[in-house]
Amino acid sequence: MSNKLTVTNHNRNITGLTYVYPVLSRRAGGLSIGINFNINNACNWRCIYCQVPELKLGAAPKIDLDLLAKELRSFLDDVLHSDFYNRMNVPNEQRVIKDIAIAGNGEPTSLVNFDVAVQLIGDIATELGVFPNSHFVLITNGSLIHRPVVQAGLKVLYNFGGEVWFKMDSGTLEGRALINHSAQTNEAVLKNITLAVQCCLTKIQICLVDYQQRGFLASESEGFLELLTTIHATTPIQNVTIYTLARPSQQPEAVNLQAMPLDVMQDFAQKIRLLGFDVTVTE
Ligand code: SF4
């Protein structure tokens, strides 16, 4: 196991902690501190590009808040006041905490006391001086935002200046069934994204993958643009990020998956810009 933290080494066990893991993020340009509630590798979706090994259907298990607090305090202390960057061979220009990201090996909002955990993380990061300089981010598939406890957590996130990165990998029922193994309808997506913006600053994340060499289907492009037109008309969401497969999927479909070509993503980004969004494309 390498103890060198690089933009390609996303080994979540690198520090041996249960809930906290560091990632050097090319996109963020520095250290991203990940918080993983789904230590059982369970998610309510099964995206065909998912990088979680032995992914299973389910929810985050009961969390040990004392352990989370202890790990986050000691990890932040190590980064801020000890030799973490030297031990991990982090380049000088990347020795900055860009964000604390609630992400991990499954859908984080499935945690039963999600709001309490978000508050705890925000309190510790504020006390240790990480917030407000660094971002506080929730990466979510958005499918559980109808739950009051998730909305309460998003409001806590908002109070710490945080933001929601809402996954939207298709604009159609068929596409979502194929890519995410989710039965979510466009109406459900719209309802949840509307709830998200009522609680917290929200951005859209689109992962485009080429499955079975089909490329980017015209029907998918049309479905996306229709849904995004409605989102633009009904919500204040401004930012969309398009990205593709950066590391191998751990799902059975991996052999049939390829990254979406950059020019295809750029063309699509331009169409979304014409709807009025700010769009970023990352490889
Ligand atoms: S929502 Fe995230 S964790 Fe869940 S299957 Fe999809 S990529 Fe994996």
Q: How many residues does the chain have?
A: 283
E strands present in 186-266: 201-207, 209-211, 239-243, 257-259
Q: Are β-strands 201-207 and 239-243 bridged in parallel, bridged antiparallel, or unpaired?
A: parallel
Whose alpha carbon is nearest atom 6 of ligand 1? Answer: 47
Domain assignment present for 196: yes
Q: What integer pLDDT is reported at residue 2 of this predicted model?
A: 46
Q: Whose CA is nearest to atom 7 of ligand 1?
A: 50
Q: How far is the CA of 106 from the centre of ligand 1 (A)?
A: 5
How much distance in Å is there from the Cα of 133 to the middle of ligand 1?
Answer: 28
Number of domains in the chain: 1
Q: What is the pLDDT of residue 15?
A: 79
The backbone torsions φ and ψ at residue 124, rounded to the nearest 5 degrees and listed phi first, read -65, -45
CATH assignment at residue 108: 3.20.20.70
| Mutual angle of helices 114-127 and 65-81, in 10-degree steps | 30
The residues of the chain scoring below 50 in pLDDT are 1-2
Nearest to 10 by CA among 97, 103, 87, 121: 103
C-alpha gyration radius of the chain: 18
Ligand 1 center to 87 CA (angstroms)? 31
- Structural domain span for residue 111: 20-204
On whether residue 233 sits in a domain, the answer given is no
Whether 245 is in a domain gets the answer no
Which residues form ligand 1's pocket by a CB distance below 6 Å? 43, 45-47, 50, 52, 55, 106-107, 141
Q: Is residue 210 part of a domain?
A: no
Q: What pLDDT score was predicted for residue 1?
A: 39
Within a domain: 234:
no
Q: How far is the CA of 138 from the centre of ligand 1 (A)?
A: 13
Residue 143 lies in a domain: yes
Q: Pocket of ligand 1, candidates 180, 192, 208, 209: which has the most ligand atoms within 8 Å of its Cβ, to mutate?
A: 180
* 3-state DSSP assignment of residue 148: helix
Rounding to the nearest 10 degrees, give the CA dihedral for residues 187, 242, 257, 218.
60
Give the C-alpha distances (Å, rounded to integers) separating 202 from 6, 129, 162, 193, 235. 28, 24, 9, 8, 10
DSSP per residue over 168-179, as a string? ---SSHHHHHHH
Using omega within 30 degrees of 0 as the cis cutoff, is the peptide bond preceding 132 cis? yes
CA–centroid distance, 244 to ligand 1, in Å, is 14
Q: Whose CA is nearest to atom 8 of ligand 1?
A: 50
CA of 75 to the centre of ligand 1 (A): 25
Q: How does 4-31 read in b/e, with b if 16+ C-beta sit within 10 Å? A: ebbeeebebebbebebbbbbbbeebebb
In a domain, 227, yes or no: no
